[in-house]
C-alpha cells in the first residue's frame, strides 16, 4: 500500500509539473512577439508617467515570452479620458494595461454620468506605491500652515475636476473655510507645479512623491532660513512617513462624524497608489500571468533600485489585495457619504 501511495504521489507530482509546463508554454505563446501598451492617463513627467516608464523597463523580463512593453500617454479631463477609453474602447487583446487613477473609486461614485466604468470590474495587476495627497503652498504669500489658508486667497492649479489635485483642495476649502480658487487645464502634475513656480498659481495638491521627486529644493531652507514652499495638509489613511510631523491629516481637523466619513472616503485613493490594471474582459490566464509577473517585478532588486534612482519609492501590494480594497471601498461608501462629498467638492 505504501509503495502504491508513493507511485500515486510521484504521478501527481509529474502531472502537476506537466500542467505547470503547459501553462507556462501557453503564457509564453500568449505574449511571445507581442507588444504590451501601458496607458498613462496624464502627460509626461508626473508620477503616473515615472512609475509607468519604470514598469515598462522592468515588467517584460518577468512575463513568459518576453514581450515588448511600451507606454502611451492619454491626458485629458483629469485622467478620466483615459479611464473611460480603457473601459469602453481599448482593444480586448490582453495586451493593453493602464496606470489607473488612484481616485478611480471616488470619481466613479461621485460623477457616475461622466465616469463610464466600474473600478471593481478592472483586473488589478498590482501596485508599487501608496501615497497621501498633500497640499503645498508658496510661502511668499504668507502661508506657512493650514490656518494661514483661511486668511489668504489661494489659487491652485490642476488638470481637471476628476483629479485629486482638484478634489482635495475643494474638500479642504469647504470643510475648513479656505479661500481657494481652482484653475484647471494643466496637463498633469508637472505643468501644475511649474505654474506654482512661475507664479501663475500659488498652491497645488499632489501625492508627496510628485513634490519630493520634482522640486525637492522647494522644501529646503535657503541661506536666510526660508523655504520656497511648505506642505500644509495631507489626506490619506495613514500619515506619510516622509512628511514632517507638523503636517496635519485633514481627518484629524474635522469634527463632524459625516464629514470625517467623507474624508475617509476620499482617502481611499492613497491605497491604490501607482500600479497597473488590465481590461475587465481580459482572459483569466492573462490576469494570472501578469499578476505573477508584477509580483516578481516588485520583488526584483533592480526594479526597486531604479525606482530609488528616479526618486520614487516601493510600497508593494498584490493585485488580489487591490481588487479586494476596491470592492470594499465601493461597498463601504454609503449614498449619504457620497452625496455629502459631492456637495462639498462640486457644489460649494
Q: What is the CATH number of the domain that holds 69?
A: 3.40.190.150
The pLDDT, as a whole number, for residue 25 is 53
* Residue 304 placed within a domain: yes
The CATH number of residue 219's host domain is 3.40.190.10
3-state secondary structure of 119: helix
Angle CA 154–179–80, to nearest 5: 70
Identify whether residues 170 and 256 lie together within a single domain.
Answer: yes
* Residue 24 placed within a domain: no
Identify whether residues 161 and 245 lie together within a single domain.
Answer: yes
* Residue 5 placed within a domain: no
Identify whether residues 258 and 275 lie together within a single domain.
Answer: no
* Residue 295: CA count within 13 A, CB half-sphere: 12
CA distance 14 to 267: 48
CA distance 66 to 64: 5
H or E element at residue 122: none
Q: Are 78 and 159 in contact (CB under 8 A)?
A: yes
CA distance 17 to 150: 65
The pLDDT, as a whole number, for residue 238 is 85
* Residue 2 placed within a domain: no
Identify whether residues 141 and 241 lie together within a single domain.
Answer: yes
* Residue 12 placed within a domain: no
Identify whether residues 211 and 294 lie together within a single domain.
Answer: no
* pLDDT by position in tens, the chain (length 348): 333 333 334 444 444 444 444 444 556 689 999 999 999 999 998 899 999 999 999 999 999 999 999 999 999 988 999 999 999 999 999 999 999 999 899 999 999 999 999 999 999 999 999 889 999 999 999 999 999 999 999 999 999 998 999 999 999 999 999 999 999 999 889 999 999 999 999 999 999 989 999 999 999 999 999 999 999 999 998 899 899 999 999 999 999 999 999 999 999 888 888 999 999 999 999 999 999 999 999 999 999 999 999 999 999 999 999 999 899 889 889 999 999 999 999 998
Domains in the chain, number: 2
The pLDDT, as a whole number, for residue 307 is 97
What are the cell numbers at 288?
494570472
Identify whether residues 249 and 275 lie together within a single domain.
Answer: no
Strand-pair category, 179-183 with 153-157: parallel
* Residue 235 placed within a domain: yes
Q: Which of 103, 97, 106, 130 is closest to 276 using CA atoms? A: 97
230 - beta bridge partners?
A: 137
Domain range holding 146?
133-268+342-346
Amino acid at each position: 500500500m505504501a509503495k502504491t501511495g508513493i507511485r500515486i504521489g510521484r504521478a501527481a507530482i509529474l502531472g502537476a509539473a506537466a500542467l505547470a509546463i503547459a501553462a507556462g508554454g501557453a503564457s509564453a505563446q500568449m505574449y511571445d512577439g507581442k507588444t504590451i501598451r501601458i496607458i498613462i492617463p496624464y502627460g509626461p513627467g508626473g508620477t503616473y508617467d515615472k512609475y509607468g516608464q519604470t514598469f515598462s523597463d522592468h515588467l517584460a523580463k518577468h512575463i513568459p515570452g518576453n514581450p515588448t512593453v511600451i507606454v502611451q500617454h492619454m491626458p485629458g479631463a483629469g485622467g478620466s479620458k483615459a479611464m473611460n477609453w480603457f473601459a469602453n474602447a481599448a482593444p480586448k487583446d490582453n495586451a493593453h494595461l493602464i496606470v489607473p487613477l488612484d481616485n478611480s473609486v471616488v470619481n466613479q461614485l461621485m460623477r457616475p454620468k461622466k465616469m463610464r466604468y466600474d473600478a471593481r470590474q478592472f483586473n488589478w495587476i498590482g501596485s508599487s506605491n501608496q501615497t497621501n495627497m498633500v497640499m503645498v503652498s508658496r510661502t511668499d504669500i504668507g502661508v506657512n500652515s493650514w490656518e494661514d489658508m483661511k486668511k489668504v486667497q489661494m489659487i491652485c492649479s490642476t488638470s481637471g475636476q476628476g483629479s485629486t489635485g482638484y478634489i482635495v483642495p475643494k474638500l479642504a476649502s469647504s470643510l475648513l473655510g479656505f479661500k481657494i480658487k481652482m484653475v484647471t487645464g494643466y496637463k498633469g502634475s508637472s505643468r501644475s507645479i511649474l505654474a506654482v513656480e512661475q507664479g501663475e498659481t500659488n498652491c497645488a495638491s499632489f501625492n508627496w512623491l510628485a513634490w519630493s521627486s520634482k522640486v525637492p529644493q522647494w522644501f529646503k531652507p535657503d541661506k536666510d532660513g526660508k523655504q520656497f514652499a511648505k506642505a500644509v495638509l495631507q489626506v490619506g489613511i495613514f500619515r506619510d512617513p516622509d512628511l514632517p510631523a507638523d503636517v496635519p491629516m485633514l481627518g484629524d481637523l474635522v469634527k463632524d462624524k459625516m464629514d470625517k466619513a467623507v474624508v475617509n472616503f476620499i482617502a481611499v485613493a492613497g491605497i491604490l497608489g501607482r500600479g497597473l490594471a488590465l481590461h475587465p474582459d481580459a482572459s483569466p490566464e492573462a490576469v494570472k500571468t501578469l499578476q505573477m509577473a508584477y509580483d516578481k517585478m516588485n520583488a526584483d532588486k533592480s526594479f526597486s533600485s531604479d525606482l530609488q534612482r528616479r526618486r520614487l519609492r516601493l510600497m508593494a501590494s498584490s493585485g488580489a489585495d487591490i481588487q479586494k480594497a476596491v470592492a470594499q471601498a465601493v461597498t463601504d461608501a454609503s449614498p449619504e457619504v457620497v452625496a455629502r462629498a459631492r456637495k462639498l467638492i462640486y457644489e460649494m
